[in-house]
């Protein structure tokens, strides 16, 4: 017995809606990637950080695009802002109210309210917002979030640019022979599973974005930088 016509029609409409949604999201990601920030934002950043070069300012803008990209992938789930200098750039962008409102609608389909900069509670204890940002930032740059071999740009940029009072994340901040021993936040522990800083959490926000990399952190996998430590 064949399926009733109404079921077939519903499935067809569902498939068309899914394809349309994928196209909309892809269009938004392209818009974010190509968006050009007004030169006045650059001037404001330079006023606060006069030691930054043009190339370094470009990195800040790239990290800000990465953050909006992450917000797109997280849908409406909260993602924390882990960088001080990128947060400053975001704040200056928001002050261009009409442009920012238009950008938010085209990039995300909604107005994106400012989320204050957020660090981990301790060198090895991460909040869910930071975990979500970490997972999606790692996915964007094809980094294993549990055993990272480098930092995503948005997590590494404050240290890279020597931002005063910036947030410093390191891959191995507890090894005695590490230059960052005893300082900063252990980024590898953000993707840590049970027995460390807690589960990174399964996330419906990923929406298949991980391309085979499970957002549940594979349950029993271990931390890249070990467990324990903290303040």
Given this model, what pLDDT does residue 199 score? 31
Long-range contacts of 113-116 (CB under 8 A, 24+ apart): 114/90, 115/78, 115/79, 115/80, 115/81, 116/81, 116/87
- Written as six digits, the tokens of 81 are 């802002």
| pLDDT tens-digit series, residues 129-182 | 888 999 999 999 999 988 888 999 999 999 999 999 998 888 876 666 665 565
Given this model, what pLDDT does residue 186 score? 78
Domain boundaries, the chain: 35-206
Given this model, what pLDDT does residue 78 score? 85
- Written as six digits, the tokens of 162 are 């020597």
SS3 201: coil
Q: How far apart are CA 93 and CA 90, in angstroms?
A: 5
Given this model, what pLDDT does residue 21 score? 76
Per run of 10 residues, the mean pLDDT along the chain (length 231 residues) is: 54 60 86 94 97 97 97 88 95 95 94 77 72 93 90 95 92 64 70 38 33 32 30 30
Q: How far apart are CA 39 and CA 220, in angstroms?
A: 48
Closest CA to 92 of 64, 53, 62, 51: 64
Given this model, what pLDDT does residue 77 score? 87
Question: What are the backbone angles phi and psi of residue 177, rounded to the nearest 5°?
Answer: -90, 5
Q: What is the DSSP letter of 116?
A: -
Cβ atoms within 10 A of the Cβ of 122, count?
A: 14
């Amino acid at each position: 017995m064949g399926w009733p016509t109404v079921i077939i029609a519903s499935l067809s409409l569902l498939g068309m809606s899914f394809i349309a949604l994928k196209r909309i999201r892809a269009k938004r990601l392209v818009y974010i990637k190509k968006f050009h920030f007004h030169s006045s934002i650059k001037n404001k950043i330079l006023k606060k950080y006069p030691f930054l070069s043009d190339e370094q300012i470009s990195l800040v803008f790239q990290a800000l695009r990465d953050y909006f990209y992450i917000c797109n992938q997280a849908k409406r789930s909260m993602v924390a802002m882990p960088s001080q200098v990128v947060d400053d750039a975001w704040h200056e962008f928001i002050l261009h109210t009409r442009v920012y409102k238009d950008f938010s609608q085209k990039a995300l389909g909604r107005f994106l309210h400012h989320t204050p900069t957020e660090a981990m509670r301790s060198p090895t204890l991460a909040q869910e917002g930071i975990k979500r940002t970490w997972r999606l930032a790692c996915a964007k740059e094809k980094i294993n979030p549990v055993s990272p071999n480098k930092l995503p740009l948005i997590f590494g940029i404050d240290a890279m640019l020597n931002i005063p009072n910036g947030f410093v994340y390191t891959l191995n901040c507890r090894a005695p022979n590490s230059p960052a021993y005893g300082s900063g936040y252990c980024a590898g522990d953000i993707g840590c599973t049970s027995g460390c800083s807690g589960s990174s959490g399964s996330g419906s926000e990923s929406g298949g974005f991980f391309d085979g990399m499970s957002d549940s952190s594979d349950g029993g996998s271990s931390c890249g930088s070990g467990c324990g430590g903290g303040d």
